[in-house]
Amino acid sequence: MSFVFLIFLPVLAALFVPLLFKNLRQIHTGWFVLLVPVILFIYYATLLPTTAEGGQLVSSFQWIPSLDIAIVSYIDGLSLLFSLLITGIGALVVLYSIFYLDKSREQLHNFYVYLMMFMTAMLGVVQSDHLISLYLFWELTSISSFLLIGYWYTRDRSRFGALKSMMITVFGGLMMLGGFVLLSIMGNTYSIRELIAQAPDLASHSFFTWALILVLLGAFTKSAQFPFYIWLPDAMEAPTPVSAYLHSATMVKAGLYLVARFTPIFAVSGTWMWLVAGVGLFTMFWGSFFALKQKDLKAILAFSTVSQLGLIMSLLGASAAGFHIEDASHTVFKYAAFAAIFHLINHATFKGSLFMVAGIVDHETGTRDIRKLGGLMSLMPITFTIAMIGSFSMAGLPPFNGFLSKEMFLTAMISLTEFDFFSMDVWGLLFPILAWIGSVFTFIYSFFFVFHTFAGKHKPDLLPKKAHEAPIGMLVSPAFLALLVLVIFFIPNQVGDWLIKPAVVAIQPFLYVAPADVDIHVSAWHGVNPEFWMTLGIFLIGGLLFWTLRKWQRAYDRFPDNLTLNRLYDNFMYLSEGGANRFSALYMTGFIRSYLVYMFGFLVVIVLSTLFLTNAFVIRTDNLTPIGFYELVVLLALVAGTITILIAKSRLIAIIALGAVGYSVALFFVIFRAPDLALTQLVIETISVALFLLAFYHLPKNSKTVERLGFKLGNAVIALGVGVTMTLVALSAHSQKVLPSISEFYKETVYSEAGGGNIVNVILVDYRGFDTLFEIAVLGIAGIAIITMIKLRLSRKVGQHENK
Amino acid sequence: MRTNDVMLQTATKVVTFIILMFAVHIFFAGHYTPGGGFVGGLLTASAIVLLMLAFDIETVKKIIPFNYVMMTAIGLLLALATAGASIFFNVPFFTHAYDYFHLPLFGKTSLHSAALFDLGVYLVVVGVTMTIIQTIGEDE
Amino acid sequence: MEIIMSVAIGFLFMAAVYLILSKSLIRIIIGTGLLSHGAHLLILTMGGLGGTAPPVVADGVQITDYVDPLPQALILTAIVISFAVTSFFLVLAYRAYQELGTDDMNLMRGIEDRD
């Protein structure tokens, strides 16, 4: 089966969304849309047995064969895991959105079309084996994210957030494209699999480090790593289902996917390991630290997402260590990649449910400001239970899945202290320390999130709405995810066998051949070891700090506002916008004349310089035709007519003189044996003059425009320049025939091949019929334009300008 | 500004038909001798313009009740269809066909699919020219 | 003959550009008309003015005697298009005058609402 086409199923389904929305308004459009991710999820689930045994599936279709561009769907453990996440979380999010977005008030057709577009884009990203199609889908995720963040486009903040995410992720995407191009030059192929196959050769190439850094820029901007994370908090203006889907579970993980996918190529490099692990870990710390500064529920979750993405990123960086250690699959270095994938799954489950909880709280109380919330425990018991499960998992408490992956994270970080390449022996100790501090703050903000919302004193007078439990339909999706959080804790090894190990093989092909080789067994109890003490420390110190949170949280307000990265971005945008405006104002005067002067000036400069720099200017006098008497007479008429136009005071005279010039040209056509042209020109000139007179009848009788002498002189100079240029071009064009004229072919075959006698007409309707077809199309367009201008009578509406 | 233009009107009645006949002749002659769709179309249009000058637009509209926008559209479609039809004969887009036939009255005549394309051109030229002049003329 | 024609073409272009750069709308339109005349003659001259028979197949004419038909075909297309463009311009000018009450290009600056 060509499952490559399944990537496009969502976007094809999106074609029907507006129809369904318009014609079946009484049924929420989301119910129809829900079918798509469910079907896809079931299909991808049937592929699980294949990948669990280490199998791979490829399906492709040629898109632009001449450029070797194809869309290749490559399914192995890693891409199947992501596909399942995309469709699975997608289905839950669509279900949730049915209750979150009101069918009568919201623009559902827009929403679901964007969402389906995103689903196609995301499936394309994770399944593409071809670099160029990967890039295309990658940018498509940015665009659909832009549209979804700006979904409530009447709000200023939404538009700002949408633009910010677009600017940063598209910047990264372009950098990544550069990296891809370098990679394709190095490996002489666009296929990722083929690049991985020749990975050892690539490392010595001089482009290697450049490609590495550019690809990482793409991954870091997409996955909101420091210092590019600033778009993610602003993206929280999107409707909550979107935040849960794009900005925590799937799109922001595209960067992680990219890093995981390219690990086999780049793992050999120390730069790679330092950048991925270092930036990731620092982001983890930074995000968790500043999550406590936030007042908005979704902002807390946004910073927490930044932090958790950093955590997974650092694990992926650490997994590169396995490349340098001999027989790493039997040492402590084997855990990093497994932990990365494991935590990625866990994060999708608990963060998805937490976002949905934040949406429920927002929906039922009317606010997301954590200072106004509190004491919702008794009013919303089910929501509270879900929130608690999610938060405790995020904090790393048993018996939730977050505990297991957090333990492995600590193991992996401790293992880096034993790694003695790339000066890790000196700095390696920093990793577990930073990881530990980040984990402490993670613990605190998880508790902050759940207890400051649901515990404490209820403040009904601060809430815009009277709080009550959400409808059952809205609770289904987060409850399901919370259930998964619990279930995964008890069956981690089944999850490992089916989902994680096949993905690990894709990340570390240099260690394993088949998923069965991955010798990792997850268990909740490892005995008393450093990880155990670290976890105990996190619980104790974290608990203590959370207890005293109210005393020291104010310290966050002391951070200077004007030194933040956000301010840097704002200033950059402001300056670039202002600079671009000033620069355009330099030459965009608003006078058409100025633009014409630029055009004519460039024409003269470019044509003349080409003419003389390439020695193209030649005059030959041996192929001239003799000068005839009639020609001279007509020429005189032509020049006289032109001069009359130039000096005529009255317009009528100018128009008549133009007619005279036109008739002279027609006479030239007669003299130079072009009967068709002469006929056409005569008739056209007649009709044109009639038209001129008709329009002239409506125009003001006397033109009041007075032109100063300087103005006229300037024009004259440019005009003279153009005139001289054209003369030189005409002379050189006539004097050298570099290629034989194609006309010989026409002359020879006109009767035998085309069955005609009038060569000009046969060229028009037969040899070059395409030109004529387009020409009459232009005629038709001109006719439509004229009708539009006259019949529709679009008047200038004063004061209707958008910005007024 | 109704002036006495009996002379013009009388002359127009004759001349218009001469021009129209000439236009048709030139259109069909176009494949072998000077002429063709463009010139034929322009001449036809000029004949109608002459009518409009001699009488007035409303009268001419009654005499020749064509919708010129439709005429343009039909012309464009005809041209496109002629070009596209070649696809169904498994030859490249825009391949023309011709052959010689013995028709009563005309004798040996060549029939050429390019003439259909030229007819499309003719219709577009007449349609657009008349559309332009009619819309400007009516807009008072 | 070609040299004289080239000079004439240059002159036509010069007059056309001068008119196009002026402020009055109608002069600009006349300028575009002249420009297309110049371009047509340029194409004709580029192909060479030789040949003794019009490009219509006739008995007893050598192939080399026909005038080059390709420039003629190009010009025929160009004539019709320039007609369409000129009439479009005319209507544009007419409507612009109706709406704005001027035919002075300098008064028709498009960005008056930028503050």
B38: nearest CB among A680, A690, A777: A680
Q: List the single best residue of B20, B22, B31, B99 to mutate versus A (max A Cβ within 10 A).
A: B31
SS3 A276: helix
A111-145 tens-digit pLDDT = 999 999 999 999 999 999 999 999 999 999 999 99
Nearest Cα residue in chain B from C91: B136
Least confident of A74-83, A148-157, A401-410, B31-40: B31-40
pLDDT at A802: 42
- List chains touching B (3+ CB pairs under 8 A): A, C
Confidence bin at A179 (pLDDT 50/70/90):
very high
Confidence bin at A391 (pLDDT 50/70/90):
very high
For residue B123, pLDDT beyond 70: yes
B132: nearest CB among C56, C57, C87: C87
SS (H, E, C) A110-123: HHHHHHHHHHHHHH
Between A466 and A256, name the one with better pLDDT.
A256
The token pair at A47 is 């592929």
B38 interface with C at CB cutoff 8 Å: yes
Rg of the Cα atoms in chain A = 35
d(CA A442, CA B58): 84
- % chain B with pLDDT above 90: 6
pLDDT (average), residues A315-343: 84
* List of chain B residues whose C-beta atoms are within 8 Å of the C-beta of residue C95: none
pLDDT at C115: 41
Distance of CA B5 to the CA centre of its chain: 27
What is the distance in angstroms between the Cα of A574 and the nearest Cα belonging to chain C? Answer: 17
B67 interface with C at CB cutoff 8 Å: no
B56-81 tens-digit pLDDT = 778 888 888 888 889 999 999 998 88
Domain coordinates in residue numbering, chain A: 1-207+222-228, 267-515+522-547, 591-748, 749-804
Based on DSSP, count helices (H) and strands (E) in chain B, helices before strands: 5, 2
The count of other CB atoms within 10 Å of the CB of residue A665 is 27
The amino acid occupying position A242 is V
SS3 A24: coil
The token pair at C35 is 């420009």
Confidence bin at A702 (pLDDT 50/70/90):
low
Beta carbons of B136 and A773 less than 8 Å apart: no
Contact (CB, 8 A) for A252 and A246: yes
pLDDT at A127: 92
Cα-based distances in Å from A777 to A474, A781, C78: 55, 6, 13
For residue C36, pLDDT beyond 90: yes
Residue C85 resides in a domain: yes
The DSSP 8-state label assigned to residue A208 in this structure reads H
pLDDT at A703: 56
Beta carbons of B32 and C57 less than 8 Å apart: yes
A437-455 tens-digit pLDDT = 999 999 999 999 988 888 8
Question: In sequence order, what are the residues at sequence separation of 6 or more whose Cβ sits closer than 8 angstroms to the Cβ of residue A762?
Answer: A746, A750, A754, A756, B31, B114
A630-650 tens-digit pLDDT = 888 999 999 999 999 988 878
* List of chain C residues whose C-beta atoms are within 8 Å of the C-beta of residue B32: 56-57
Cβ density class A329-359: b for 16+ within 10 Å, e for less: beebbbbbbbbbbbbbbbbbbbbbbbbbbbb
Contact (CB, 8 A) for A235 and A227: no
- Interface predicted TM-score (ipTM): 0.92
d(CA A356, CA A362): 10
Nearest Cα residue in chain C from B124: C80
Exposed/middle/buried for residue A226 (C-beta within 10 Å: 0-12, 13-18, 19+): buried
pLDDT (average), residues A48-76: 85
pLDDT at A698: 67
* List of chain B residues whose C-beta atoms are within 8 Å of the C-beta of residue A779: 72, 124-125, 128
Beta carbons of C56 and B125 less than 8 Å apart: no
Q: List the single best residue of B72, B126, B128 to mutate versus C (max C Cβ within 10 A).
A: B128
- % chain A with pLDDT above 90: 39
Nearest Cα residue in chain C from B31: C56
Q: At what angle do helices A401-415 and A530-547 cross, to 10 degrees?
A: 120
A785 interface with B at CB cutoff 8 Å: no
Q: Which residue has the tokens 């709405």?
A: A465
d(CA C9, CA A725): 10
Contact (CB, 8 A) for C2 and A626: no
Beta carbons of A780 and B110 less than 8 Å apart: no
Confidence bin at A803 (pLDDT 50/70/90):
very low
A182-198 tens-digit pLDDT = 999 998 899 999 999 88
The amino acid occupying position A730 is A
A394-412 tens-digit pLDDT = 998 888 998 999 888 988 8
* List of chain C residues whose C-beta atoms are within 8 Å of the C-beta of residue B136: 90-91, 94
d(CA A737, CA A731): 12
- % chain A with pLDDT above 70: 96
SS3 A295: coil
Q: Which residue has the tokens 């869309």?
A: A71
Beta carbons of A801 and C49 less than 8 Å apart: no
Q: Which residue has the tokens 């060569």?
A: A759
Count: domains in chain C:
1
pLDDT (average), residues A453-479: 86
A528-574 tens-digit pLDDT = 788 888 888 989 998 988 888 888 878 887 777 666 788 888 888 88
d(CA A27, CA A14): 17
Beta carbons of C91 and B136 less than 8 Å apart: yes
Question: In sequence order, what are the residues at sequence separation of 6 or more whose Cβ sits closer than 8 angstroms to the Cβ of residue A534?
Answer: A410, A432, A436, A439
For residue B3, pLDDT beyond 60: no
Chain mean pLDDT for chain B: 81
For residue A83, pLDDT beyond 90: yes
What is the distance in angstroms between the Cα of C56 and the nearest Cα belonging to chain B? Answer: 6
SS3 B112: strand
d(CA A169, CA A217): 9
d(CA A372, CA A388): 19
Beta carbons of B136 and C94 less than 8 Å apart: yes
- List chains touching A (3+ CB pairs under 8 A): B, C
For residue A424, pLDDT beyond 50: yes
Confidence bin at C19 (pLDDT 50/70/90):
very high
Confidence bin at B4 (pLDDT 50/70/90):
low
Contact (CB, 8 A) for A345 and A440: no
pLDDT at A1: 53
A677: nearest CB among C20, C38, C76: C76
Q: Range of C38's domain?
A: 2-52+67-102
d(CA A430, CA A303): 22
SS3 C53: strand
Chain mean pLDDT for chain A: 87
SS (H, E, C) B4-33: CCHHHHHHHHHHHHHHHHHHHHHHHHCCCC
Confidence bin at A804 (pLDDT 50/70/90):
very low
Beta carbons of A726 and C13 less than 8 Å apart: yes
A485-501 tens-digit pLDDT = 999 999 988 888 889 99
d(CA A804, CA B16): 56
The answer for C 11-50 residues in CB contact with B (under 8 A) is none
What is the distance in angstroms between the Cα of B6 and the nearest Cα belonging to chain C? Answer: 30
pLDDT at C114: 46
Domain CATH for C7: 1.10.287
Beta carbons of B132 and C57 less than 8 Å apart: no
The token pair at B132 is 């332009």
A686: nearest CB among B34, B46, B69: B46
Q: Which of A385, A386, A320 is nearest to A351 (CA)?
A: A386
Distance of CA A720 to the CA centre of its chain: 49
A687: nearest CB among B69, B118, B129: B129
Q: Which residue has the tokens 């420091």?
A: A226
The answer for B 71-110 residues in CB contact with C (under 8 A) is none
For residue A800, pLDDT beyond 50: no
Between C9 and A518, name the one with better pLDDT.
C9
The amino acid occupying position B81 is A
pLDDT at A313: 94
What is the distance in angstroms between the Cα of A389 and the nearest Cα belonging to chain C? Answer: 55
For residue A109, pLDDT beyond 50: yes
d(CA B122, CA A261): 61
Question: In sequence order, what are the residues at sequence separation of 6 or more whose Cβ sits closer than 8 angstroms to the Cβ of residue A172?
Answer: A217, A218, A219, A220, A221, A222, A228
Beta carbons of A779 and B110 less than 8 Å apart: no
For residue B95, pLDDT beyond 80: no
What is the distance in angstroms between the Cα of C2 and the nearest Cα belonging to chain A? Answer: 6
pLDDT at A312: 94
Q: Which of A307-316, A416-425, A698-707 has the highest mean pLDDT?
A: A307-316
For residue A256, pLDDT beyond 70: yes
The token pair at A193 is 């699999």
B33: nearest CB among C56, C84, C87: C56
Beta carbons of A715 and C18 less than 8 Å apart: yes
Cα-based distances in Å from B115 to A773, B32, C1, C94: 14, 11, 37, 37
Residue C107 resides in a domain: no
Contact (CB, 8 A) for A90 and A251: no
- List chains touching C (3+ CB pairs under 8 A): A, B
Between A589 and A658, name the one with better pLDDT.
A658
C37-55 tens-digit pLDDT = 999 999 998 877 777 778 8
Confidence bin at A423 (pLDDT 50/70/90):
low
d(CA A171, CA A40): 31
pLDDT (average), residues A617-636: 84
pLDDT at B1: 45
